[in-house]
Amino acid sequence: MSNISADLIKQLRSITGVGMSKCKEALSASSGNLEEAVHYLRKKGMASAAKKEGRETKEGVVVSAETDTHVALLEVNAETDFVVKNERFQAFAKDLVEQIATSKPSSIDAFLQETYAKDTSLTIDAYRNLVIQSLGENIQLKRLELIEKKKDLSIGIYSHMGGKILAAVAIQGSASQQDLAKQVAMHVAAYSPDFLQPSDVPESIQEKEKEIARAQMQGKPDHIIDKILTGKMKAFYDENCLVSQPFVKDSSKSVQEFVAAEGKKEGQTLQVSSFWCWKIGS
């Protein structure tokens, strides 16, 4: 069918995001029926996406969204930074994380099988395949997290480098300290702690650090070794544990000391209870 109007092609393109030539092909194959043309492209999109599934996805974005009850985090990956910066990719990531915050799926696999809220004829996976068809790259959902809001919890989010790094921090003791939690999230993005507090460091890692320290002190008296070992482990905790790290905005205080001091100004007892730090490629 050759008499496909330009307006109809543009309409199909606005619905699917697929290139003009593919839209014309779909409309021709569907005798100008818009609904059938969308179905045609979806089937083609699924086929194209299958061919791209094996491609490596090293670039991406970490996005967040929140409702009255939850904060959602999602990492979406693509092959190139060029596609990640594309408006359609950015809108896709935003759509998905907003739905996660609302639907609260148990896993990536479960989420992919959900009905897409903005087009109930599609699953999330079918929507992903349409975007793959449109942008021409493999697109994968790597991980998601749901953080429950509680009456005595403040959650702060900090996004850096256009979403290549996203940090989230939860502070226990108040539901009105989001700004403080965001300040600590900025610290997390900058310092990348591995653990929340010293008690969270696995025994195997602590023993390895002690073994290395002892090897550096061979020949010294035991009482000297014990004293130096205590100092070296403190230095290890100060470098790797969030609450022990010198706070990025005031290095005279640890993160926990800073948080406690800020809480004291408001008559609140505050402590950092958890954190997340997601980086593309890690």
Q: What would the mean pLDDT of 196-220 be, rounded to a whole number?
A: 91
| 54-149 CATH | 3.30.479.20
**Would you list the domain boundaries of the chain?**
6-52, 54-149
Q: Which of 1-15, 56-70, 113-127 has the highest mean pLDDT?
A: 56-70
pLDDT band of 282, cuts 50, 70, 90: confident
To 10 degrees, what angle do helices 255-265 and 178-191 make?
Answer: 170
- CATH fold for the domain made of 6-52: Helicase, Ruva Protein; domain 3 (1.10.8)
CB atoms under 10 Å from CB of 198, counted, come to 16
**DSSP state, residue 241:** B
Average pLDDT, the chain: 92
Distance, CA of 115 to CA of 131 (rounded, Å): 16
Q: Tokens for 230? A: 């205590």
- Asked whether the domain spanning 54-149 has the same topology as the one spanning 6-52, the reply is no
Burial 253-280 (b: 16+ CB within 10 A, else e): ebbbebbbebbeeeebebebbebbbbeb
Distance, CA of 154 to CA of 71 (rounded, Å): 11
Among residues of the chain, what percentage have pLDDT more than 90? 70
* Per-residue pLDDT at 214 exceeds 90: no
Among residues of the chain, what percentage have pLDDT more than 70? 95
* 0.75 exceeded by pTM: yes
